[in-house]
């Protein structure tokens, strides 16, 4: 059972890819931060398996329950202004707790995470390292350690980096890949090219603009992706993997 | 100074639209600020990300580009009251690790820049929509963040006995989670931050007033594929704004698509349907807002030539479709 992250530049189709991946991995569950999976699935009239979405409040309270082991006290503290403020002020705390939740689920089932875009995704993974450096002791330090150990094990985590055949998306994918290979050598990385365009087989009557999009765009895309390798290339409009 | 905020989901061309707005500005002097931590504008304009303030010349158009950045702010704040090395480290971690904190800081910087600015026109590029919520929350909550938070406790703690004991409990609680030394650092940091509370509160007030003013324009960039759920997000985000308009980038509405069954024609037909629905939804949810469109153009190389061509595109206003 493993954790599968889907990331890439904003707007490349992470949510779409997460939905399609869950259709292929029938027993996998999904997780997200942005409440977009359901509406994406509806476009294809698909029903999705469990979607996990954790609010800060839920995570905070669950964490307290585990740390303090006294349910009513945890609830009371989690409602207090002080705790809420501390929670807000603690860097990386939300990210740490999220990672921990996802890892816990992935210990029993395959979990596909519709992750944030590039920079935020890297920052999310880094939360554990940062927490370990910032906090010299305490339960968060311990938690950060556990998370880092998980990412350092083989066969626990895969990352799908989704890109478009556009310069900025391609460059950003390369940057994420380099970062992951350097910092998380045990993670399995797969590179996905989304929305590759194919020229129409016939000559069509189109405006100048549309002509360029129909016939020039596929050729330009081929040139742009020439020096890149992908594990999978999805054509524009693909509805299965 | 005429201010315009540019909002939008990721991948719709918000960065391009921000540059277009600055490029097409008819004011004597124009500035383009970016709150987007990805600094996409700098990449598009082929300016090194090491720079934060640059005079840009694109063909024969000039504007000032400024990336708002938390570490600069730290240097300024440190000049007012010296932050020791521990506080500095904690500040850097807060900036890296806490998106909301970054947002508060970038807003404070924005407020400072607006006060300093002598430009007639100011275009402000924001982070992608999901993150922009944090900005709006920050704008709404900046004041309460500082007035209700532990910073006030830290300041008053020395004076009031009750508050002091609350501080003590908070300290004990945090020790359990983050260790003794870290807890001390957190409170030192809060104390330091507290010395700037006034400034932050003033910035919050100013920005709130500014963004909710009728003089300030808010342009939302969308594409035909923008999901309905995003429109609901936009409704929430834009509730306090008075002057809202929309531009649909990658519009195909005026195009005639042949009745063929290849992937290109299918894609364009799908876009056309989606765009039609999008316009209907926009008219329904935002009846007073102006809607424009920019035609779908060949893009993707990120060259200067491509950028100039895009920046010279004309936005055309949308007529309400006859069928509903």
List, for residues A183-221, the tens digit of each pLDDT value. Answer: 999 999 999 999 999 999 999 999 999 999 999 999 999
pLDDT band at B146; cut points 50, 70, 90 = low
Averaged pLDDT, B3-31: 94
The beta strands (E) that lie in A41-141 are given as 51-52, 111-114
Under an 8 A CB cutoff, do B98 and A91 touch? yes
Under an 8 A CB cutoff, do B301 and A135 touch? no
- pLDDT, tens digit, for every residue of A133-184? 777 778 888 899 999 999 999 999 999 999 999 999 999 999 999 999 999 9
Residues in CB range of A135: below 8 A, 6 or more apart? A141, A144, B177, B178, B179, B182
Report H helices in chain B.
14-23, 40-44, 70-80, 85-97, 99-116, 129-148, 150-157, 161-178, 180-194, 197-211, 228-238, 263-285, 304-311
Averaged pLDDT, B237-256: 94
- The partner residue sitting opposite A11, judged by closest CB among B10, B98, B170, is B10
pLDDT (0 to 100) of residue B129: 78
Q: Which residues of B are less than 8 Å from A74 in CB distance?
A: none
- Give B1→chain A minimum CA distance, Å: 31
| Overall number of domains in chain A | 1
Q: Which residues of A are less than 8 Å from B266 in CB distance?
A: 237
pLDDT (0 to 100) of residue B166: 60
Q: What percent of chain A has pLDDT over 70?
A: 90
Best probe of the A interface among B97, B132, B225, B309, by most A CBs < 10 A, is B97
Nearest CA in chain A to B37: A119
In the predicted structure, residue B269 carries a pLDDT above the cut 50: yes
Describe the strand order of the beta sheet including A111-114 as a list of residue ranges. Answer: A51-52, A29-32, A111-114, A3-8, A157-163, A188-196, A232-235
pLDDT (0 to 100) of residue A66: 75
Within a domain: A201: yes
Residues in CB range of A226: below 8 A, 6 or more apart? none
Averaged pLDDT, B147-158: 52
Weakest mean pLDDT among A19-33, A87-101, B105-119, B188-202:
B188-202
Under an 8 A CB cutoff, do B175 and A138 touch? yes
Nearest CA in chain A to B228: A39
pLDDT band at B157; cut points 50, 70, 90 = very low
Give the CATH number of the domain where residue A18 resides. 3.40.50.300
Mean pLDDT in chain B?
Answer: 83
pLDDT band at B58; cut points 50, 70, 90 = very high
Q: Which residues of A are less than 8 Å from B186 in CB distance?
A: 89-90
Within a domain: A21: yes
Burial (0-12, 13-18, 19+ Cβ within 10 Å), B248: buried
Under an 8 A CB cutoff, do B260 and A39 touch? no
Cα separation, A157 vs B41, whole angstroms: 33
pLDDT band at B324; cut points 50, 70, 90 = very low
Averaged pLDDT, B128-134: 73
Averaged pLDDT, B154-158: 50
pLDDT band at B22; cut points 50, 70, 90 = very high
pLDDT band at B299; cut points 50, 70, 90 = very high
> How far, in Å, are A26, B8, B131, B228, B291 from residue A36 at the CA level?
19, 15, 14, 10, 25
- The partner residue sitting opposite B177, judged by closest CB among A92, A119, A140, is A140
Averaged pLDDT, B24-31: 96
Residues in CB range of A23: below 8 A, 6 or more apart? A46, A240, A241
Under an 8 A CB cutoff, do A209 and B12 touch? no
pLDDT band at B159; cut points 50, 70, 90 = very low
Mean pLDDT in chain A?
Answer: 89
Range of the domain at A111: 3-235
Q: In this structure, which topology does domain B2-78+106-136+208-317 adopt according to CATH?
A: Rossmann fold (3.40.50)
- pLDDT, tens digit, for every residue of B71-91? 677 777 777 666 677 677 767
pLDDT band at B323; cut points 50, 70, 90 = very low
Q: H or E segment at A117? A: none
Under an 8 A CB cutoff, do B150 and A213 touch? no
Q: Which residues of B are less than 8 Å from A12 in CB distance?
A: 11
Q: What percent of chain B has pLDDT over 90?
A: 46
pLDDT band at A91; cut points 50, 70, 90 = low
Within a domain: A119: yes
Under an 8 A CB cutoff, do A213 and B256 touch? no
pLDDT band at B61; cut points 50, 70, 90 = very high
Burial (0-12, 13-18, 19+ Cβ within 10 Å), A123: middle
- Give B196→chain A minimum CA distance, Å: 16
Domain boundaries, chain B: 2-78+106-136+208-317, 82-100+145-200
- Do A124 and A74 contact (CB within 8 A), yes or no? no
- pLDDT, tens digit, for every residue of A41-55? 888 788 887 999 988
**CA proximity to A93, closest of A78, A80, A106, A112:** A78
């Amino acid at each position: 059972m493993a954790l599968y992250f889907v990331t890439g530049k904003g707007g490349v189709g992470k949510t779409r890819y997460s939905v399609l991946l869950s259709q292929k991995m029938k027993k996998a569950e999904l997780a997200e931060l942005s409440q977009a999976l359901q509406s994406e699935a509806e476009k294809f009239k698909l029903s999705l398996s469990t979607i996990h979405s954790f609010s800060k409040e839920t995570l905070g309270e669950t964490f307290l329950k585990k740390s303090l082991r006294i349910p009513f006290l945890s609830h009371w503290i989690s409602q207090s202004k002080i705790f809420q403020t501390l929670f807000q002020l603690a860097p990386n705390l939300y990210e740490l707790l999220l990672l921990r939740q996802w890892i816990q689920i992935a210990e029993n089932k395959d979990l596909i995470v519709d992750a944030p875009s590039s920079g935020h995704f890297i920052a999310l993974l880094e939360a554990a390292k940062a927490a370990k450096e910032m906090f010299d002791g305490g339960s968060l330090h311990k938690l950060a350690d556990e998370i880092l150990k998980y990412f350092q094990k083989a066969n626990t985590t895969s990352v799908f980096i989704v890109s478009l055949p556009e310069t900025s998306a391609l460059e950003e994918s390369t940057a994420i890949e380099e970062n992951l290979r350097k910092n998380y050598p045990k993670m399995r990385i797969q590179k996905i090219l989304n929305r590759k365009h194919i020229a129409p087989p016939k000559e069509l009557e189109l405006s100048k603009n549309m002509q360029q999009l129909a016939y020039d765009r596929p050729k330009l895309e081929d040139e742009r992706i020439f020096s890149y390798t992908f594990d999978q290339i999805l054509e524009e409009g693909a509805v299965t993997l | 100074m005429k201010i315009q905020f540019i909002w939008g989901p990721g991948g719709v061309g918000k960065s391009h639209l921000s540059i277009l707005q600055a490029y097409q500005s008819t004011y004597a002097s124009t500035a383009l600020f970016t709150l987007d931590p990805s600094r996409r504008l700098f990449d598009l304009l082929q300016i090194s990300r090491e720079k934060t303030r640059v005079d840009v010349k694109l063909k024969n158009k000039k504007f000032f580009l400024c990336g708002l950045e938390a570490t600069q702010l730290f240097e300024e704040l440190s000049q007012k009251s010296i932050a020791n090395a521990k506080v500095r480290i904690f500040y850097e971690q807060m900036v890296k690790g806490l998106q909301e904190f970054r947002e508060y800081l970038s807003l404070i910087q924005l407020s400072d820049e607006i006060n300093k600015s002598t430009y007639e026109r100011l275009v402000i590029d924001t982070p992608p929509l999901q993150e922009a919520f944090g900005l709006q929350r920050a704008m709404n909550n900046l004041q309460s963040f500082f007035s209700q938070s532990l910073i006030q406790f830290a300041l008053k703690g020395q004076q009031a006995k009750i508050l002091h004991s609350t501080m003590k409990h908070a300290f004990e609680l945090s020790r359990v989670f983050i260790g003794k030394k870290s807890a001390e650092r957190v409170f030192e940091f809060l104390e330091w931050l507290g010395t700037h509370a006034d400034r932050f509160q003033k910035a919050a007030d100013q920005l709130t007033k500014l963004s909710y003013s009728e003089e300030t324009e808010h342009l939302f960039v969308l594409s035909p594929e923008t999901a309905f759920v995003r429109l609901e997000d936009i409704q929430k985000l834009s509730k306090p704004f008075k002057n809202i308009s929309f531009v649909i980038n990658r519009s195909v509405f005026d195009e005639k698509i042949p009745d063929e069954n290849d992937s290109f024609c299918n894609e364009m037909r799908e876009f056309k349907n989606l765009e039609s629905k999008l316009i209907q939804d926009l008219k329904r949810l935002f009846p007073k807002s102006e809607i424009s469109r920019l035609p779908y153009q060949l893009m993707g190389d990120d060259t200067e030539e491509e950028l100039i061509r895009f920046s010279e595109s004309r936005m055309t206003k949308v007529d309400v479709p006859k069928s509903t």
